[in-house]
A = this chain, B = another copy of it.
């Protein structure tokens, strides 16, 4: 299912391709986040035009409101009209968000349904059933993702439970769906190692590195990434979940990560922040009033091909929803250009040089 095509000679960066029945996901890849079956504010043509190669959705969020419509449509690809690869996250990460006031036990998550107020169980088995109804190409196991910081005891419980749940997920998995395990262990090198080794022994098609970018330092994050990757099989794709900024993505590629997803580019856009290779900017600032250039000097996105920074400043100040969409298109295009350019640089054996140039030109 995964083919490494090229390895960088001066780092652990690599390029490759994940085969799915909805086309190949070329890695390094960045997946826009379509939590509830839509990348906020964007339609499918927007996503195609900005070069999205695959998407990631959230199984828990889609399940909690009822899956009947998706089931009727014959699955999520048909429901949301996206023909490319879709990965579905399990929703284990939601425990950190606290929106649903989960009670966690070895059984799974117990929560009150927002539909009818009844207590419902979201277990590894339910999770896999959800993935199966969604009909996504890649399903993530349900994991126990504790907040940062957590005690050593709590992290140990998480690693053990994540392993047990991973096993239950594999047993409950449907046909025709790749399943990725998720490594936990917080910032504790021993627990990261243990978690990676335990999952490596199971029949997963790929691996997520979970529980990072939640408040730990950058050093802790990269060290946890390194421990995880060095204990995972190198012939399968590695997905760093929920990361992140342009600089973090570039750095993580050099550590050997293949796949990224993050809601930041679109969430930032809705809050008025846009990205360029030179850093982050706030569209509300007066300096953009009257600025006739597009957001990104060399950007080829729909927004930059059509509109000036001045017009976007005006739209945002007037709280016009079009601003949120146009900035989302631009930010996603900027991130996707970065992974696309990284892939080319790896192919041409000049990734180190590319990374250096990008980071020195950038305060990202």
Interface residues of A (CB under 8 A from B): 36-38, 40-45, 65, 68-69, 72-73, 79-81, 289-290, 292, 302, 306-308, 310-311, 313-315, 317-318, 320-322, 324-326
With CB as the reference atom, state the residue of chain B lying closest to A68.
B290
Chain B min CB distance to A331 (Å): 16
Q: Do B314 and A37 have beta carbons less than 8 Å apart? A: yes
Q: Which residues on B sit within 8 Å (CB–CB) of A38?
A: 315, 318, 320, 322
Q: Do B306 and A69 have beta carbons less than 8 Å apart? A: no
Q: Is the interface of A mostly helix, strand, loop or mixed?
A: helix
Given the known inter-chain contacts A321-B321, A321-B325, A324-B321, please indicate yes or no for A310 contacting B40, CB distance below 8 A: no
Q: Do B292 and A72 have beta carbons less than 8 Å apart? A: yes
Q: Which residues on B sit within 8 Å (CB–CB) of A311?
A: 37, 69, 73, 79-81
Q: How far is the CA of A107 from the CA of B156 in the complex (A)?
A: 77
Q: Do A65 and B306 have beta carbons less than 8 Å apart? A: no
Q: How far is the CA of A105 from the CA of B351 in the complex (A)?
A: 70
With CB as the reference atom, state the residue of chain B lying closest to A290.
B72
Q: How far is the CA of A43 from the CA of B45 in the complex (A)?
A: 13
Q: Do B321 and A36 have beta carbons less than 8 Å apart? A: no
Q: How far is the CA of A45 from the CA of B41 in the complex (A)?
A: 16
Q: Do A289 and B68 have beta carbons less than 8 Å apart? A: yes
With CB as the reference atom, state the residue of chain B lying closest to A315.
B38
Q: How far is the CA of A321 from the CA of B266 in the complex (A)?
A: 13
Q: Do A313 and B81 have beta carbons less than 8 Å apart? A: no
With CB as the reference atom, state the residue of chain B lying closest to A314.
B69
With CB as the reference atom, state the residue of chain B lying closest to A317.
B65
Given the known inter-chain contacts A43-B306, A314-B37, please indicate yes or no for A289 contacting B322, CB distance below 8 A: no
Chain B min CB distance to A142 (Å): 22
